[in-house]
Chain A
Amino acid sequence: MSGNTTVPATGVAAWWAAIRRDRKASIGAALLAFFVLLAVVGPLLVGDPQALVGIPLQPPSPQHWLGTTGQGQDVLAQLVVGTRVSLAIGFAVGLAVVLVGALVGITAGYFGGRVDGLLSLLFNVFLVIPGLPLAIVIAAYLPSGPLTLGLVLTVTGWAWNARVMRAQTLSQRQRDFVAAAIVTGESDFRIITNEILPTMTSLLVAQVIGSTVYAIGAQVGLEFLGLGDVSAVTWGTNLYWAQNDSALLTGAWWTFAPTGLCVALVGFGLTMLNSGFDEISNPRLQLERAWRAYLESRGHKATRSTPVVVDRV
């Protein structure tokens, strides 16, 4: 496999270069960058989203590009301002969920035995209890706001990550380098942080991205039910008000269509980025790409080789 440029395994610059090389990842990164930019500078460019600026339920016009809501607010302003809170909660929950999941999963997988039995039981129970109803019950008791949403989504979302991390730790635990570390007398904590965790970097990144998609979707769902702070401006509350003002039955598509589209575009962008990352960091797919490049350089037509399903326990 000589002749292909080797990719340094770590480093931000390497990731960046890899993203730019992969078409899927670049599309995802571009979408994401657009929305992050929108969240950061957008609110400065539009007016007060709560201001009553016109006649209610006006279709899109030159003054109000996306029309007005049932109360006469500017839909575009609400959409742009809502981006900030929704994305912030999404990313924060995505990180928190992975953190909790990794902590529990690695502990269970590394120490094994009774610790593993107990923790596995715990996350299996949380996996089987339906998330949304549980989230609703907890959220209803707490004062509504972003903190509550974050807490509730973390409580209902961590279990899947814990399961994946446990399986991954279990397989790493069998490897020779871990055995060598144990023999040299390294402490458990050091083995976990310095030996096992670095091998999981790409998995963790993928999990954060996946969990963020989950968090944004679930958060919008809860707010749509009226469990967020309904006086705040977020994507979910925008949809809540659209539904409450019977936007649908009056045909006011502009009050709900743009918001949902944004949710989907962010989710789609993150998913694209994730599958791009997978192709970058997965050595098997890297080999495949190198092999294809080699074939093509020899003038052969490269066909895709069969993907292999990794059986996760």
Chain B
Amino acid sequence: MRFLLRRLGFYLLSGWVALTINFLLPRLMPGDPATALFARFRGRLGPEAMQALRETFGLTQAPLWRQYLTSLGHVLRGDLGISIAYFPSPVSSVIGTGLIWTVFLAGSAVAISFALGTLLGLAAAWWRRGWIDTWLPSTLVFFGAFPFFWLAMVALYVFGFVLGWFPLGHAYSDEITPAFTAAFLLDIARHAVLPVGTMVLATLGGWLLSMRNTMISVLGSDFVNLARAKGLPQSRVALRYAARNALLPSITSLGMALGFVLGGSLLTEIVFSYPGQGYLLVQAVRNQDYPLMQGIFLVITLAVLGANWLVDLVVLWLDPRIRESAS
């Protein structure tokens, strides 16, 4: 319990740092977003509306600390300001429309990549110098050297454009009405194959190597030798004894990998015109929509922090040493 609370405190602190960066950036930077913002809307908004806008962003004449408190209060109530690119929708609802797609894309990519990579790493360590161990790691590391989004472009070109196996973009076809039907779900899956596939390909090598290396050192340890000496079935030694322990470092790095994959997912979405955060982000960058940009940053950060805490829960459940030292 102490462990979890300490971690929670750390994530709260990190969240607060992110909030503060978010608050300070527009005020520290040479380019004043307020001026850009108001220039964009001049002639379209009355002075009262402008004043309201100003207040929503907290860009008032009040002293800095008061602005800070106001902005913190807004964020805590879920009010991230008003989007410029999608004026007059609030940022929170704009982000809400894309969030589920990003979580779906990045989530399934991480889950598949982790599961597959770990299994392959297990196999590579178990059958050392077998063909998995010889060929797969270097091949995957080579793929890992390509930028995420470039792999996505190649995949889109080859499998979408030339071969026509998969759709060229978007999360689902226009002809299908979103509903909870098998046809719709199948359509979503078909659209997700390429983006998820490229992300898995780019990250698989890391999981494989991490699992392989830890597994090899665990396989050499005394308790595994004892298990073998007792004549336990091979599968039991491999899975219940070695793999369970070798899994820990991979799981610990899962939290950090999430942030990395989310970032890669943003870029991949752009290539596939996938309607998630990445697409919104590009719109925000093109339209200098600072509130939307900052909102996306904040939401992604909070999502990563939350996921990290979940990973801590899993680690606590898997690793008795932490449970012991915590109690």
Contacts and interface: CB of A to CB of B under 8 A. Distances in A.
A129 B157 contact: no
Given A133-B296, A137-B25, A253 B157 contact: yes
Given A128-B304, A225-B267, A226-B282, A134 B153 contact: no
A130 B10 contact: no
Given A136-B281, A260-B153, A128 B290 contact: no
Nearest to B272: A248
B26 interface: yes
Interface string B12-38: 011001100110011001110100000
Interface string B119-150: 00000000001000000000001100111111
A256 B153 contact: yes
Interface stretch (B48-56, B57-65, B184-192, B258-266): B258-266
Given A141-B29, A249-B161, A268-B145, A132 B263 contact: yes
Contact of A129 (B30, B148, B259, B290): B259
A259 B304 CA distance: 31
B176 interface: no
Q: Is the interface of A mostly helix, strand, loop or mixed?
A: helix
A131 B11 CA distance: 16
Interface in A274-291: none
Contacts of B89: none
B224 to A, nearest CB: 13
A121 interface: yes
B262 A130 contact: yes
A133 B297 contact: yes
Interface bin, chain A? 35 or more
A248 B153 contact: yes
B290 A125 contact: no
With a 10 A CB-CB cut-off, give which of B129, B145, B266 has the most chain A CB atoms.
Answer: B145
Contacts of B148: 221
A140 interface: yes
A134 B300 CA distance: 10
B136 to A, nearest CB: 16
Contact of A132 (B21, B29, B266): B266
B55 to A, nearest CB: 21
Nearest to B217: A309
A236 B317 CA distance: 43
Task: Determine the main DSSP class of B at the interface with A.
Answer: helix
A251 interface: yes
Contacts of A121: 10, 13
B294 interface: yes
Contacts of B308: 128
Contact of A221 (B142, B149, B153): B149
Contacts of B216: 306-307, 309
Contacts, number: 156
B92 interface: no
A308 B297 contact: no
Interface residues of B, number: 63
- Residue of A124, A125, A131, A257 with most chain B CB atoms under a 10 A cut-off: A125
Contacts of A133: 262-263, 266, 281, 296-297, 300-301
Nearest to B300: A133
A247 to B, nearest CB: 9
Interface in A198-233: 213, 217, 220-221, 224-227
B162 interface: yes
B257 to A, nearest CB: 11
B171 interface: no
B213 interface: yes
B259 A130 contact: yes
Contacts of B260: 130-131
B196 interface: no
Given A130-B304, A132-B263, A143-B30, A251 B161 contact: yes
A236 to B, nearest CB: 9
B168 interface: yes
A89 interface: no
A44 interface: no
B153 A137 contact: no
Contacts of A138: 25
Contacts of A141: 25-26, 29, 31, 33, 290
Contacts of B26: 141
Contacts of A124: 10, 14
Contacts of B286: 226
A134 to B, nearest CB: 6
Contacts of B149: 221, 224, 239
Nearest to A141: B29
A304 to B, nearest CB: 8
Interface in B178-228: 213-214, 216-217, 220
Give me the 4 closest cross-chain CB pairs, A-B, nearest first.
Answer: A132-B263, A260-B150, A130-B259, A141-B29
Given A121-B13, A256-B150, A257-B154, 14 more contacts: A125-B13, A127-B256, A128-B305, A129-B18, A130-B300, A138-B25, A220-B147, A243-B270, A249-B168, A264-B142, A267-B145, A307-B213, A307-B216, A309-B213
